[in-house]
Structure 1
Amino acid sequence: MPIGEFRNDQARTRFFDVYDDLVTRLWPSTSVSSDVDTSFGTTRVHRLGSGEQAPFVLLPGSGGPSLMWHAYVARLAASRPVIAIDPVGEPGPSVQTRAIDSGDEWSAWLDEVLTALGVGRAHLVATSYGGWVALRHAMRSPQTVAGLALLDPGGFGKVSPKFIAWMIACGLTSFTPRPVRHALAGPLRNVTLRDDDAMPLVKATFGFRRRHILPTPFTDGDLERITAPTLVLLGGHSQLYDARQVAATITARMPHAVVEIIPEAGHDVVLRNPEGLAARIVAFAEAEG
């Protein structure tokens, strides 16, 4: 499988012009960034906060850099250390050199990153594709996962034509005039379309060729192997799956999981009420230690 990369130098420059501006304006200045070498490429990480507790490790969704967590990081870092990761093969400062062909290889990549950072156990906070990676890691390396906080995670059924159509519609809408984009955010159930800061970066990501595998669905046996305390927040109108069916499956197969449905949200749940969701994630982690 080919690796993810920018289409050309112009696309890379366009992306980082926007990315660097947003980092300056939206990301905490106390963050310390560094690059970690892995067998899959160089991975950029951003560290905030302090303390001896197991850190929050943040994994973004498909097509999004760690910057998508900008509304969360300061709130999370007030309670314990935070490590925000830019996955290889996604638009951002990480550079992929080897394809990742399975969930186990994604887990191996994450394990290499955390080992290099000296992190023995972590609370994984993730959304969408990142949520699938986090669950795969909890299956493969349970001793390293202190807890999971997942926002509309992938892996609960195959990616449907409905979801792909929604992604295409949102992508096309991002190029429409601001009033149209704002008006369609409601019917499309995607609050990102109203985020005028995010839109230039969203459009710049189209200059990146993302070539990751689709998330393979979890079996009942897979889910039963996940022993870490888990908080799952699902969008009531998720375009990815039927939230109530997924909630029932998780409740039946993951005895250490708590599931909550955010009624008004779609797959964009991570972008709705970040302050409240960050507080919920902190409280869950504190209760679990």
Structure 2
Amino acid sequence: MDTITPNIGAAFKAGRLGHFRDAAAYTRYRQAYDRAMAGLPAPSATLNVSTDFGTVRVYRFGPADGVPLLLLPGRAAAAPMWEANLAGLAKSRPVYAIDLIGEAGLSVQTCQLTSSEDQAAWLASLIDGLPEQALHVLGLSIGGWSALNLAVHRPAGVRSLVLLEPAATFGGITWKVVVVSLGSVLPMPKAVRRRLLSWISAGADASEDDPVAALIASGMRDFTTSLPRPTYPTDEQIAGIDLPTLVILGGRSIIHAPSKAAARARRLLRHGIVELWPEASHAINGEFPERIETTVNAFLAKVEAT
């Protein structure tokens, strides 16, 4: 359902809107996106939901009934990154997978995002545009930050949070992440970008033979973001979250110091369950899909039973 026009070309740079670098870049990305989407279950609905900051591409999966789960992807990844997780998470409830505004994907940004409050506002507007009155929110990496940021500024309509390896949330960003992020702003050989992606996943093969890896690589190469730097949440903001929250961190993550991040989350979250999986990296969703399915579904069932 392509009824919205993507931002293509440098003309969008002046307005600080996320955009594809040129028409060839969009073509490359769209080919990678469609290839990665082919690995997902067929969505029951594909929606374009309008917000004050742009139009959000939304896919709905799973049964018609139940409290939905909203999935927020990592940087440069978009909805297809949930290929390993969708079938398990959508067994017993509706699941919405989206492309983040301002990031690579089929969502289209129309207004500049200048603050964390803006980041929460567009997500809250999206939730208001969905038919259900309340839902759970699960985010990975920058999607995890987005989920917690939503709970800080616009918690209405959110039943619970699930944060997988959330970036810039419980632990500060490491210098290694800064190096990896250069892959999205500087031109570099494909082999170097592949090594950077492999570093994120603790040395796992990041070959673009894998559709999701190819999608992320294209997002880094072909799309330009103009987003504000994520605001590191204060102790008071985290302690003020009045929602059941499940945090799962990887012991081999390079995003933060995992043990310190886990300790801060345990200390501050009022209704938190914090798990540190020693063998997991930042690519935790693809490394442990069955364990994530079991852990997340058990958590959501407990939330709904209380």
Give the alignment of 1:1-289 within 5 angstroms. Answer: 2-24=16-38, 26-154=39-167, 155-168=169-182, 175-176=190-191, 185=198, 189-191=202-204, 193=206, 196-205=210-219, 206-289=221-304
Q: 1:274 to 1:174 in 2, by over 3 A?
A: farther
1:114-153: CA deviation from partner (whole Å, max 9, x where unpaired) = 1111232111010111111110111223332111111111
Q: Is the 8 A contact 2:170 2:262 kept in 1?
A: no
Cα deviations by residue, 1:211-256 (Å, 9 ceiling, x for unpaired): 2122111111001111111110101122121111111111111121
What is the match of residue 9 of structure 2?
A: none
Please, which runs of 5 or more residues in structure 1 have no aligned partner?
none
Aligned residues: 285
Please tell me whether the aligned partners of residues 156 and 246 of structure 1 are also in contact (alpha carbons under 8 angstroms).
yes
> Is this contact kept in 2: 1:121–1:145, CA < 8 A?
yes
* Paired amino acid for 1:231: L
Deviation at 1:159, TM superposition (A): 2.9
Offset of 1:19 from its aligned partner?
1.2
Q: CA RMSD in A?
A: 2.5
Change (3 A) 1:233 1:116: same
Q: 2:200 touches 2:283 (CA, 8 Å); kept in 1? A: no
Equivalent residue letter for 2:170:
F
Give the CA deviation at 1:187: 9.4
SS in 2 for 1:109: helix
Please report how far the alpha carbon of residue 158 of structure 1 lies from its aligned counterpart in structure 2 after TM superposition.
Answer: 4.0
Q: Distance in 1 between matches of 2:201 and 2:187?
A: 12
TM-score when normalising by structure 1:
0.90
Contact in 2 for aligned 1:63/1:210 (Cα 8 Å): no
SS in 2 for 1:285: helix
Secondary structure of 2:156's aligned partner: helix
Greater per-residue helix proportion: 1
Deviation at 1:207, TM superposition (A): 0.7
Q: Supply the distance in 2 between the matched residues of 1:135 and 1:110 (Cα, whole angstroms).
A: 11
Aligned-pair identity in percent equals 35
- Secondary structure of the residue aligned to 1:176 is helix
